[in-house]
Amino acid sequence: MIVLGLETSCDDTSAGIYDGRDLLANVVSTQLVHRQFGGVVPELASRAHIQLVLPVIQESLREAGLSVSDIEGLAVTYGPGLAGSLLVGLSVAKGLALALNIPLTGINHLEGHIWSNRLAHPDLEPPFVVLIASGGHTQIVFVRQWGQYTVMGRTRDDASGEAFDKVGKLLELGYPGGPAIEKLARSGDACAIAFPRAFLEEGSFDFSFSGLKTAVLNWVRNADAETVQSRLPDIAASFQEAVVDVLVEKTIAAARYSGVSRLVMAGGVAVNGRLRNRMAERGAEEGMDVLWPTPQLCTDNGGMIAAAGHASFARGDRSDLMLSPVPSLNLS
């Protein structure tokens, strides 16, 4: 079955095509309009999706060497995400499904991120634990079987990627903040500033990054401009290390608690090189395999939605044309 997947949950407009074996196309158009505002503006995101979604679909068909009549199923993100952005993708998917007389299935955006690892590692099979870390989400999920997910921990305030973006904005590094902080941190001392690690109560797999963000803000406010400028690499490295420490230790603990020997990472923050290296090191110490997708598959992309959709159709799942966006959709 050839499935077209549409992803418009935030500020990436993407279409992917998957046939159950190969990812035939995966086209992503990132909206640059938000950079001047230091974050995603929902209304602008919705308008940009309207302009980009059809050209992105056309480009995915061209890349796959297919025509629209070859598509046998439509998979579309219906949550979580920005309501207006989700609505654009849903409207287009419904229209195509109706016009082509093919089935439609709604996909949870977070399930798509989990499936990005299956695209990168075709032999991956449950059970395993996955860390989903992005600008909007930070969760640890136990995958018992494909389609059966238990959320073990989630952020209680800021997502890890959101913390990177806010600190990047505070340090005037531009948007998105994650890549800029990682680059700057390479020349900094990760032990230079003792920023806090919020491990919360014993046994909890939840996260909290608001206190860390506030600690960076207070440090910057209490230093003069010249000191801040000269110590930017140390600030970036120390902040990044604080985030990575918590992500790694909680994910390893969750995998140990679940009795699994494999853990995977997904989402935009999974591109971070320091996080990958630390997770791989700690995984090796615990005798665990650690996997992650390619950088393109870490971002929001239609390929992961197409893959999750293909599995959804195989289970017999179908959505009707009344499917609505669910901005706060849960995974389990």
pLDDT tens for 204-237 read: 999 999 999 999 999 999 999 999 999 999 999 9
In which residue are the tokens 């935030």 written?
10
Question: Does domain 3-113+297-314 sit in CATH 3.30.420.40?
Answer: yes
DSSP state of 280: H
Per residue in 32-43, pLDDT (tens digit) is: 677 776 778 888
DSSP state of 270: G
Work out the number of other CB atoms within 10 angstroms of the CB of residue 55: 13
Confidence of residue 107 (pLDDT cuts 50, 70, 90): very high
Please give the single-letter amino acid code of residue 119. Answer: L
CA distances from 151 to 94, 124, 208 (A): 30, 19, 16
Confidence of residue 9 (pLDDT cuts 50, 70, 90): very high
Domain boundaries, the chain: 3-113+297-314, 126-293
Q: Give the pLDDT confidence score for residue 38 in this predicted structure.
A: 72
In which residue are the tokens 């179908």 written?
318
Assign a CATH topology to domain 126-293.
Answer: Nucleotidyltransferase; domain 5 (3.30.420)
Q: Could you tell me which of 296, 318, 285, 269 has the C-alpha nearest to residue 130?
A: 269
Q: Could you tell me which of 316, 282, 276 has the C-alpha nearest to residue 103?
A: 316
Q: Give the pLDDT confidence score for residue 255 in this predicted structure.
A: 98
Q: Give the pLDDT confidence score for residue 41 in this predicted structure.
A: 84
Beta strands in 157-212 (DSSP E): none
Per residue in 252-295, pLDDT (tens digit) is: 999 999 999 999 999 999 999 999 999 999 999 999 999 999 99
Confidence of residue 28 (pLDDT cuts 50, 70, 90): very high
As a whole number, mean pLDDT of residues 48-53 equals: 95
Q: Could you tell me which of 129, 134, 46, 137 has the C-alpha nearest to residue 92?
A: 46
Q: Give the pLDDT confidence score for residue 221 in this predicted structure.
A: 96
Taking phi first (over 0 means left), then psi (-120 to 50 degrees means alpha), and beta for anything else, what does residue 259 get?
left
Residues 263 and 327: their CA atoms lie apart, in Å, by 27
**Equal CATH topology for 3-113+297-314 and 126-293:** yes
Q: Could you tell me which of 153, 152, 148 has the C-alpha nearest to residue 127?
A: 148
φ, ψ at 264 (rounded to 5°): -130, 160
Structure tokens at 311: 């599995």
Considering the entire predicted model, what is its pTM? Answer: 0.94
